[in-house]
Amino acid sequence: MNVPYALLVGMRDPSLRLKNGSGQDDSVVCRGCASLPAMADRTSTKRKRAGKTPVSRRSSPLEPPKSPLLAKDARNGAPITSGKHFLSDKVGHFTESVIREMTRQAMLHGAVNLAQGFPDFPAPAEVKQAAQRAVAADVNQYAITWGAKDLRNAIARQMGVWQGITVDPEKEITVCCGSTEAMISTLLAVCNAGDEVVIFEPFYENYGPDSVLSGAKPKFVKLRPPKDDGGEWTFDEKELRRAFDKHTKAIILNTPNNPTGKVFTRRELELIRDLCVEFDVLAITDEIYEHILYEGTEHISIVSLEGMRERTVTINGMSKTYSVTGWRVGWAVAPEKITNAIRKVHDFLTVGAPAPLQEAGAAALSLPAEYYANLAKGYRVRRDHLMPALTAAGFQCFRPRGAYYVMTDISAFGYKDDVAFAKYLVQEIGVACVPGSSFYRDPRDGAKQVRFAFCKKPETLDEAARRLAKLRVGATA
Ligand SMILES: Cc1ncc(COP(=O)(O)O)c(C=O)c1O
């Protein structure tokens, strides 16, 4: 198995600074670059003055580079390469997604895929029909870059219903290609090289590479697992405070949380709010599991706390709430000034999210309250289906309060680490999980953990349980 688990080399390098070819900070180079035609004009003036275009340096992003691949060897016509490094330094600082790699492994070995968080059951019929109607009605061209009006109106309306927040759909919402794009567009829009971003770990693996790509340095604060079955994942308030300083630009929150299932309490969010205000920090909050809650837990959006409206970017999407992870529709809700910056990045990254699926998004957000209650109930049944099977097989489960994953401790199996165990599980037992190390900066912190997703049909969970029953506690590899 390809082992890309040693994650985010750059995060361990405090001196990480993203530079352009001339050694300047990217932030300096990019300032004022929003208008490409203006830049082209400046270039042509310079060129006129110089009399000719310099050969060794590109003078405009509009001008294609002189590719060394165009040069051919006179003897055999083979392309001559210069030996130059063609890869960005940034990509050397993180690996491919471990979660997505585990899906490929599951397919390779015919394993039950409890690794990646996508449902294997149908999306709601009303939502699919709305998409079909939109395609048939020829909503097949680019939507407005920052989102179809109907969808933005529906998001604003539901932010009022669910969070009690008034949002201007014209000025404060950007619809993106999934919340994944909303997060990276936000970080690119707000971070300069050298800014620091606070992240709780274990963390959803995208946040690390997102920070690196945006030039920010991630600072991690530990979430510690519960000591007993009824307990909660907690963090140390002093450790959190120590992570904040004058370089802190933002904190990334994810509640309900992937991978832990933690749902941040009002008290915890108030503490985070106080630090954000004291250090003048932005909260970027990923609330994609907002409606998947258990045992009467309450989802609180940090934007709804006093003092946070002007310093919060709330990210959400259709993937998890409406079981359409392949549609790629998500959004960022932020104050106008920040929204303007996010919209610029989003425009040049993707132009826009799929137009007919945005129309279906407006229909989805109009589903009755009963839909959300049934969604949570369905996931509780699935959680309570998988957890006993895991416990019986020898895993120690950390009971999730929200989202659709269960983090487990694998100490009882006696494996060298999570990667060796996950490899054995997918190849020999036929069940794919995600090695815990992929959720931590230091792989050793997750060496005794693996994560299972339970967003699956009962028969899928039954088959996984049947296979897991073959596991032997105390086996060593
Ligand atoms: C916390 C979290 N955020 C974002 C995503 C991706 O969301 P989207 O499909 O909207 O890009 C996931 C997917 O697993 C997730 O767990």
What CA–CA distance (Å, rounded) separates 201 from 439?
Answer: 7
For the chain, the domains span 21-64, 93-122+370-468, 125-364
Ligand 1 pocket residue status of 119, Cβ below 6 Å: no
Tens digits of residue pLDDT in 408-452: 999 999 999 999 999 999 999 999 999 999 999 999 999 999 999
Residue 13 pLDDT greater than 50, yes or no: no
Residue 4 pLDDT greater than 80, yes or no: no
- By the 8 A CB rule, do 255 and 285 touch? yes
Tokens standing for 86?
A: 């063609």
In the three-class reduction of DSSP (H, G, I as helix; E, B as strand; rest coil), residue 393 is classed as helix
In this predicted structure, what is the pLDDT of residue 182? 98
Question: Could you check whether the bond before residue 354 is cis, i.e. omega within 30 degrees of 0?
Answer: no
What CA–CA distance (Å, rounded) separates 346 from 340?
Answer: 10
What's the CA-to-centroid distance between 341 and ligand 1, angstroms? 22
Beta bridge partners of 283: 251, 312
Contacts for 274 with CB less than 8 Å, ≥ 6 apart: none
**The domain at 125-364 falls in which architecture?**
3-Layer(aba) Sandwich (3.40)
**Global pTM value:** 0.83
Name which residue sits closest to atom 14 of ligand 1, judged by CA.
117
Tens digits of residue pLDDT in 172-187: 999 999 999 999 999 9
In total, the chain counts a number of residues equal to 477
Name which residue sits closest to atom 13 of ligand 1, judged by CA.
117
> Whose CA is closest to 143, among 304, 314, 340, 355?
355
Helical H segments across 95-148, by residue range? 98-109, 125-136
Question: Could you check whether the bond before residue 435 is cis, i.e. omega within 30 degrees of 0?
Answer: no
Atom of ligand 1 nearest to the CA of 318: 10
Tens digits of residue pLDDT in 318-377: 999 999 999 999 999 999 999 999 999 999 999 999 999 999 999 999 999 999 999 999
For residue 82, name the pLDDT band (cuts at 50, 70, 90): low
In the three-class reduction of DSSP (H, G, I as helix; E, B as strand; rest coil), residue 444 is classed as helix
Which CATH number among 3.50.50.60, 2.40.50.660, 3.60.40.10, 3.90.1150.10 corresponds to the domain 93-122+370-468? 3.90.1150.10
In this predicted structure, what is the pLDDT of residue 71? 57
Ligand 1 pocket residue status of 317, Cβ below 6 Å: yes
Contacts for 35 with CB less than 8 Å, ≥ 6 apart: none
Tens digits of residue pLDDT in 43-77: 333 333 433 333 333 333 333 444 444 556 666 66
